[in-house]
A and B are shown apart, each in its own frame.
Chain A
Amino acid sequence: MDILDILLSASFWAAAIRIASPLIFATLGELICERAGVLNLGIEGIMVAGAFAGWMAVYSGTGLWTGVMVAMVVGMAFGLIHSVLTVPFGLSQHVVGLGVTLLATSSTYYAYRLALPEVTSPPKITAFQPFEIPILSDIPLLGPALFAQTPMTYLAFVLVGLVSIVLYRTPLGLALRAAGENPSAVAAQGLSVTGIRMGAVIVGSGFMAMGGAFLTMSAFDSFFFEMVNGRGWICIALVVFGAWKPGKALLGAVLFAAFDALQIRVQQTPLGADIPYQIFLMTPYVLSILALIVMSRRAEVPGALMVPFNKGER
């Protein structure tokens, strides 16, 4: 198979969408936080917590969608911790974020050991299965790639649309964006910057946890401690790549995933025999950095990102 054949195969694009799905959830979550002016570096840990919580809920007997909800609630709880420290207390968002990541990963592990003290391998659940959307999945190339995915992938795409609408077409979205650009203006309107920012961080963290849950409930059917494996950090970059816009961020996630799906396949072409595998593994990251450089030049950073707001302060 040469590269052109790979790029024209439906299975390649199906893989790209699969790989992109958890990134879409988490990128959206981070985007919401940052649009409100809060950088959430708790993302990696919150994904781990979500991956565990959703899977554990299903393993304990709840339905799959209830599991997704549980993951979201756990993510929101960590979001609450993050937002209390960064918004009303105005602490360093870097330090708090990394702290939340460490707290979430280690408490997840603690909970895992409490729940499953003696297991030989992590138990499996019946995960979401691919669901072919009638008619649409028959479209050549596009059909199998986009419309034969698991329900959570569809949810991710729906959420992108939903977040776009809320951000750009509702008063709430306007207030949220203003909280990230010019919080004093929001306060002048009689709205609570603290409330909006905290809400954004909590909801955003819920989305991140759903991204983690995708890994254990859709991409795979079991929880492994290190399985999030840096995906959260990628999402931070994807938000910048997407210039803080949901549509572009979605594009970035799919692009990154496509690079990843491509490198896996190119490793098996004659090219793979000559080039060390590490080069292939790093290509998605290298290409993302390059794309980031190009894209971020025109990106508009939310004006009040990482600037704490104290009511009445001049």
Chain B
Amino acid sequence: MTTPKSRTIATLSRRQFMASTAAVALVAGASTLATPLRAAEPIKTAGIYTVPVEQQWVSRIHKAAMTAQERGDVDYVYSENVSNTDYARVMREYAEQGYKLIIGEAFAVEQEAREVAAEYPDIAFLLGSSFKPDDALPNFAVFDNYIQDASYLSGIIAGSMTKSGNIGMVGGFPIPEVNRLMHAFMAGAHEMNPDIKFQVSFIGSWFDPPKAKETAFAMIENGADVLYAERFGVSDAAAEKGILAIGNVIDTQADYPDTVVASAIWHFEPTLDKAIAEVNAGTFKAADYGVYSFMSEGGSSLAPLGTFEDKVPEAAMTLVNERSAAIKAGTFTVEINDEEPKSS
């Protein structure tokens, strides 16, 4: 668009040149307001997290953002360990500094985050949320780790590995993102054996590994021989007592090679890439990016079995492969159930 104009400029008189430059500047100015940055320029992106970037859930977002930065799609900065009471202030600070895409988590600040977003309609907000997008707030899109597909598959493996038919599950809080993965996991385990019993406990904290560990110990005493490790500390209890564990969101087998059988992993990349594309195209709008965590979108997967290769029963792996193909083909859907799971 600018190239033909600059050619004509060379042939114009000085006065005409001044006038036309002003016009071009006006047009250019107006167009930057109307259309977002060109694809070649990295989007100024800010991440705001309420926990350190080591936390399982946030680590996946951070990793995807770092990858996008290496590709040159975004200019990424982040603030970690921002308390919820401070969250809106940090959002505003980044907004004032000219960041174009703000990612993070609105779980505990749903209303405040939306209020801030309403004040900065030119900035795209993509925040983890338990609620739905609102068309009245077009620059506020939501996502979450909808990795129930992978959780379901890990459940099948867990169901085939338990001998006592008793699986222990330790969670932080029963919020939708935790509940739906637990339900999918339980559904998977029931595929192998409908009589499996589940022990479900919540520890009322995201970061209290000693407490998660104690809770897991209690479940092991109570007969569990496979644990669903939603929190740090659970896999440690399993390793100490020599029983198996299933990972969640991140692959922890490297730390517990003898006890972590499989992990359901979340990939944030498809979610972020979609947002980058939308921002570049100027079409970013209120939407639920949850689907980009689905397995069919590459947003979740079952980690390689690694040390447990060939140790999982044949029947389970056949079912895993079959269901995995069906999920990707869209012929099988894992139920999304956000209710609080209960012990059976």
Contacts and interface: CB of A to CB of B under 8 A. Distances in A.
B211 A229 contact: yes
B149 to A, nearest CB: 23
B210 A215 contact: yes
B199 A226 contact: no
Interface in B235-271: 236, 250, 252, 255
A267 B54 contact: no
A170 interface: no
B201 A277 contact: yes
Interface stretch (A115-123, A192-200, A232-240): A115-123
Nearest to B233: A220
Report the contact-size class of chain A (Cβ under 8 Å from the partner): 20 to 34
Contact of B174 (A18, A109, A277): A277
Contact of B81 (A220, A225, A267): A225
Contacts, number: 84
Contacts of B209: 220, 222, 224, 227
Interface stretch (B12-20, B124-132, B138-146, B216-224): B216-224
A260 B213 CA distance: 13
B202 A121 contact: no
Interface string A278-299: 1001000000000000000000
A68 to B, nearest CB: 17
A227 B54 contact: no
Interface of B: 51-52, 54, 59, 81, 174, 199, 201-211, 213-215, 217-219, 221-222, 232-233, 236, 250, 252, 255, 342-343
Interface of A: 1, 9, 11, 15, 18-19, 109, 119-122, 124, 215, 219-222, 224-227, 229, 260-261, 264-265, 267-268, 272-273, 277-278, 281
Contacts of A119: 54
Nearest to A225: B52
B61 to A, nearest CB: 13
Contact of B222 (A109, A121, A265): A265
B343 A15 contact: no
B51 to A, nearest CB: 8
A114 B205 CA distance: 26
15 contacts: A11-B221, A120-B59, A121-B54, A215-B210, A220-B236, A224-B207, A224-B232, A226-B207, A229-B208, A264-B214, A265-B218, A268-B199, A272-B343, A277-B202, A281-B204
Contacts of B208: 226-227, 229
B164 to A, nearest CB: 14
